[in-house]
A and B are shown apart, each in its own frame.
Chain A
Amino acid sequence: MKKVAALATLLALTTALAVAPKDTLVIQESADIPTMDPGVTYDTASGAITENLYETLLTYSGASLTKLEPLLATKWTISNGGKTYTFDLRKGVKFHSGNAMTCADAEYSFERNLVTNSAESGNWFISESLLGTGANANDDKTITWARIDKAVECNNAGQLVFTLPAVDPAFLAKLAYTGQSVVDSKHAAKIGEWSGKEADWKAWVGKDLTNSNLSKQPSGTGAYKFVRKDANAFLATAFDGYWGKKPAIKNIVIQKVSELAARQQAFLKGDADLIEGGGRAVDEEQIKGKPGVVWQDGFPSTSATAFFMNENIKATGLLGSGKLDGKGIPANFFKDANIRRGFSYAFNYDQYIQDVQKGKGKQRTMLLPDTFPGYDAKVNTYTFDAAKAKQFFQRAWGGQAWKNGFVLTANYRAGSVPAQTAMEILKKNIEALNPKFRVNIQAKQWSEMLASSKKGEEAMIVIGWAPDYADPDNFMYTFYSSNGYYFPRSNWKDTQVDKWLEQARNTVNTAERNRLYSLVGKKAYEQAPYILMPAPVGYSFMRDSLVGAEQKNFNPMISFSYTGTYWKELSKK
């Protein structure tokens, strides 16, 4: 027994030292980091790293989504009717490799993004601004080296000059995206990345940079420098040569811990400052209110989710009889606005907020996050109203729908409890209206559903959109334009809305844009192309020793979503 006690003390002594040190931020999450190359960064796990190792020309000011402030640029001017942007770059900035940052590095970075523009990357939207197309040179043969070269150049004064083919009100917001960070061109060329010259540009078109040499050996201007990444952890340390204020936390460790229970124990013991949680229901039960834990709630959500009602269903398998005879639906079932309105009135929004979002949910007026510019809170919303739903169904299809009934088959993403619950709520309410109404719901694999919905083969699905950059066009055009990304899934076309959306993306006048988006919102309420899902309310939790992560500086566009800040803004007490 003595021996056991001695062993126990020895073990206890050595592990007492293991608690997260003050100069080190310890994060535990389940997944690995896909890439550290900004040129292909298009997910938050990678973004959370690249945004701290690298820097963009400008960034969001605090928690604001509309105000941008200089980062690697010091100031910028817009000329030529909004088609030319000239940036003054910060002097005395060093890369982690020791190289000095010059305009040539910035030029190289943007040209590299335009040249590679791989399917995995988010470079399609910078390409849309600078080349007028989201495609790369393999898919669009009109893209030449001359066009890429001309789009972004350094002038004799060492300023960076962008020349756009057309006005783009979202251009500055796009530059704030971490994928548009400035990379170290000399270092990159030395380790075997694109040379930056015309000679080998063709070979790099469409190339997937996920496992590039630059991803393995990053060199940016950010406040943190990459140390090592192995199967256990990612390590970074404060960069001594950083041009800005020296960060308070010296070391960053992101440990890979797949098991939630193990992460929770480490967090509650104080061995980890931040962990990936298990969803609101789990975290409220097992984390909230425990000693040493700070819980923050009420964060705005920046995604938008909706029921899609496809007005031209291309898969016959889901249509039953294919006619309005009570045994199926015609392919254009949702073409009648009264059907869509009926469905919109039949969804119980409050019940969804209670059941799925634990009372923390918010109904929006349009498919645009309420924190985004262009959002109009005054547009009407649908409420659950069986009587009104009945009225609209009775009017639909000249009364045939009500008289004969229908059988609708809807798929939801397998494993998605919110989508399943939403479908079940809708099914119950619709079937309660008329015994001849039937809604069948079934689970389907996500990847299959993405493919079939893209081909317009799904009748009704629940999907959402998360922003690439903080501009309303990224949502409004995606959902409501007949040229938008989601059009094949909804097949809802309104020429007036199309016109407004084109106008809004071609003017920099904010008041005018707001007016146009408000018009779209009103028209969309009236036409009801989507059933808008209530938006979730975000939360975060951390150890109480962590300082600097507060609601007032939480920016949802920052990929490091535990605190919504850059690492350099944090400290520990």
Chain B
Amino acid sequence: MLNFIVKRLIQIPVVMLVLSLMIVGLTQLLTPEQRAAPYIRSEQQAARLEQIIEQRGLRDPFPVQYGRWLNSTLHGDLGYSKASNQDVIATIKERLPRTIELTILTAIPILLISVWLGTLSALHKDKFIDQFLRVLVVLGYSLPSFVVGILLLAVFYAYLGWLPGSGQLNVVNTFALGDVRTYTGLLTVDAALNGRWDIAWDALQHMILPALTLVIVLSANIIKVMRNNMLEALTSDYVRTARAKGLAPGVVNRKHARRNALLSIVTLGGFLIIGLLGGSLITETIFAFPGVGQWVVDAARGVDLAAVLGFAMLTAVIVVVVSTVVDILYGVIDPRVRFD
């Protein structure tokens, strides 16, 4: 087991190296002028284009530019992000916990709801509830998050006024945030630890709509897979045997069928969490939620190379770590899986 984990963790630097080489290499297809674009915000600064290119060494050959990035990265400096107007490390430190918070609030409902509804759908195959859920799944799958997000905002914020709009806190609490000591970086947790339940509640309310958007959009796929897996399991030999032994239907469905149907859901869940931790680009942008996704959208739009590279490094870590966890979980669910 330990061997397996260590082997996996060694992958991280390798993945990072390859990723960074590819990204820096790709940007060499852009002209120095295009790469200087993030430093230019006005016609007047454009007038200084040549000096800016010169100062940043954007005309240097690829190995020199890559070497410069690698050297500073190895010294723990991922550079300065134009998109967030601060260092990449500082940006990730500030924004990743926000994304983790949203991931927790999103991934758990998605997985629970999907498993529940998928099972329900399979157990009532072709009955009304199954038909109804199948329509919902098609809807959820085909609605893009920017439509769902804006729709939810229009209904629950603008029209009904039940939930707050975009952002992470209301105006008064934004100022009060200065008094909140940071322990974890997770706003709801920190606020609660400081005894500021009002801020925690406010932050939680602000996360309802983005989380709901993601639940609607991301559940569909998993429900569908769960339903199919479940159907397959229900018709398998061991389920028939279990039924023949005279076990209660509930026990058969839960212990024998569902447990086996869950295997590929764990894999899908891993991908779901990787995707959510990498930032929900569109949802975070619509709801002005200050996670990594919102930052990456700005960075990509502005050819902010340092930020894109920093984000790629972060993704490499997330992908390797989460997929390792998923593989370990496999062993928990299916005792036949061994790591050595």
Query: What is the distance, in angstroms, from A190's C-beta to the closest C-beta of chain B?
Result: 21
Known: A232-B169, A265-B153. A466 touches B298 (CB 8 A): no
Question: Beta-carbon contacts of A370-381 to B below 8 Å, as 1s and 0s?
Answer: 000000000000
- For B154, the chain A residues whose CB sits under 8 A away are 261, 265
A120 to B51, CA, bound (A): 9
- Alpha-carbon gap, A12 to B157, bound state (A): 10
Decide if B245 is an interface residue (CB 8 Å cutoff). no
Let me know if A257 and B172 touch, CB within 8 A: no
Residues on the A chain within 8 Å of B298, using CB: 32, 258
B57 to chain A, nearest CB (A): 13
Task: Report the Cα distance A464→B169, complex, angstroms.
Answer: 40
- Closest Cβ–Cβ distance, residue A324 to chain B (whole Å): 32
* Residue of A whose beta carbon sits closest to that of B285: A258
A256 contact set on B, CB distance < 8 A: 288, 290
Could you say which residues of chain B place their CB within 8 Å of the CB of A511? Answer: none
Give CA–CA (A162, B288) in the complex, Å.
47
**Contact (Cβ within 8 A) A271 B95:** no
Q: How far is the CB of A33 from chain B (nearest CB, A)?
A: 7
Query: Is B33 touching A450 in the complex (CB atoms < 8 A)?
Result: yes
Measured CA separation A447–B44 after assembly (Å): 13
A139 CB–B CB distance under 8 Å: yes
* Pair A20/B171 contact, Cβ less than 8 Å: yes
How many residues of chain A get a CB closer than 8 Å to chain B's CBs?
A: 66
Question: How far, in angstroms, from A259 to B166 measured CA to CA in the complex?
Answer: 9
User: Which among A42, A251, A261 has the highest number of chain B CB atoms within 10 Å?
Assistant: A261
Q: Is A26 positioned at the interface, with any CB of B under 8 Å from its CB? A: yes
Nearest B residue to A139, CB-CB:
B51
Contact count band on B: 35 or more
**Residue among B33, B44, B85, B175 making CB contact with A42, cutoff 8 Å:** B44
Q: Which residue of A lies closest to B168 (CB)?
A: A232
Instruction: Name B42's closest neighbour in chain A (CB-CB).
Output: A43
Does chain B have a CB within 8 A of A11?
yes
CB distance from B249 to the nearest CB of A (A): 30
Q: Convert A1-44 into 0s and 1s, putting 1 for each residue whose CB lies closer than 8 angstroms to a CB of B.
A: 00000001001101111101100101000001111000000111
Whether A43 pairs with B45 at a CB distance below 8 angstroms is: yes
What is the minimal beta-carbon distance from A117 to any residue of chain B, in angstroms? 10
- B34 contacts A447, C-beta separation under 8 Å: yes
Which of A76-84, A223-231, A548-556 forms contacts with chain B? A223-231
Establish whether residues B162 and A12, one from each chain, have CB atoms under 8 Å apart when the complex forms: yes
B41 touches A45 (CB 8 A): yes
Q: Does any Cβ of B come within 8 Å of A211's Cβ?
A: yes
Interface of B is mostly: helix
Q: Which residue of A lies closest to B208 (CB)?
A: A11
Q: Are B288 and A262 in contact (CB under 8 A)?
A: yes
Contact with A along B137-156 (1 / 0, CB 8 A): 00000000000001001100
When the two chains form their complex, are residues B85 and A35 in contact, meaning their CB atoms are under 8 A apart? yes
Report Cα–Cα, A465/B175, bound state, in Å. Answer: 38
Q: Is the CB of B167 within 8 A of A232?
A: yes
Contacting residue for B205 out of A15, A44, A208, CB 8 A: A15
Could you tell me the distance in whole angstroms from the C-beta of B54 to the nearest C-beta in chain A? 8
A534: Cβ under 8 A from any B Cβ: no
Asked if B331 is at the interface (CB within 8 A of a chain A CB), the reply is: no
Q: A96 vs B205: C-alpha distance in the bound complex, in angstroms?
A: 35
- Given A32-B85, A211-B85, A257-B288, also A227-B49 (CB < 8 A): no
CA distance A472 to B141 in the complex (A): 58
A210 CA to B40 CA in the complex, in Å? 12
B45 touches A265 (CB 8 A): no
In the complex, chain B residues whose CB is within 8 Å of the CB of A18: 164, 170-172
Residues from chain B with a CB closer than 8 A to the CB of A118 are 55
Are A208 and B41 also in contact (CB < 8 A) when A231-B94, A255-B288, A485-B47 are? Answer: no
- Fill in one digit per residue for B23-61: 1 if any A CB lies within 8 Å of its CB, else 0: 000000001011011011111111111111001000000
A255 to B98, CA, bound (A): 16
CB pair B166–A262 under 8 Å, yes or no, is yes
Q: Which of A436-479 contact B (CB under 8 A)?
A: 445-448, 450-451, 454, 463-466, 468
Name B34's closest neighbour in chain A (CB-CB): A447
Contact call A265/B165, Cβ cutoff below 8 A: yes
B40-84 contacts to A, CB under 8 A, are 40-52, 55, 80, 82-84
Chain B residues whose CB sits within 8 angstroms of the CB of A263 once the complex forms: 166
Given A17-B170, A266-B166, is A230 in contact with B290 using a C-beta cutoff of 8 Å? yes
Given contacts A11-B162, A17-B170, contact A259 B286 (CB under 8 A): yes
Residues of B within 8 A of A230 (CB): 94, 177, 290
> A21-B172, A445-B34 are known contacts. Are A257 and B166 too (CB-CB below 8 A)?
yes
Bound-state CA distance A210–B45 (Å) is 13
Quick check: is A93 within 8 A (CB to CB) of the other chain? no
Cβ of A235 under 8 Å from chain B? yes
Query: Contacting B162 at CB < 8 Å: which of A8, A24, A465?
Result: A8
6 new A-B pairs (CB below 8 Å) besides A235-B178, A259-B287? Answer: A15-B162, A139-B51, A231-B94, A232-B169, A262-B287, A466-B43
Interface pairs A-B: 3 shortest CB-CB: A231-B290, A119-B51, A451-B33
Instruction: Give residues in A with beta carbon < 8 Å to B.
Output: 8, 11-12, 14-18, 20-21, 24, 26, 32-35, 42-45, 118-120, 122, 124, 139, 206, 208, 210-211, 227-228, 230-233, 235, 237, 251, 253, 255-259, 261-263, 265-266, 268-269, 271, 445-448, 450-451, 454, 463-466, 468, 485
Q: Can you report 28 A-B residue pairs in the complex whose CB atoms are below 8 A from each other?
A: A12-B162, A14-B201, A15-B170, A16-B161, A32-B298, A34-B82, A34-B85, A42-B41, A42-B45, A119-B48, A119-B55, A120-B52, A231-B91, A231-B94, A231-B95, A231-B290, A231-B294, A232-B168, A232-B169, A253-B171, A255-B166, A257-B166, A257-B288, A258-B297, A261-B153, A269-B157, A447-B40, A454-B49
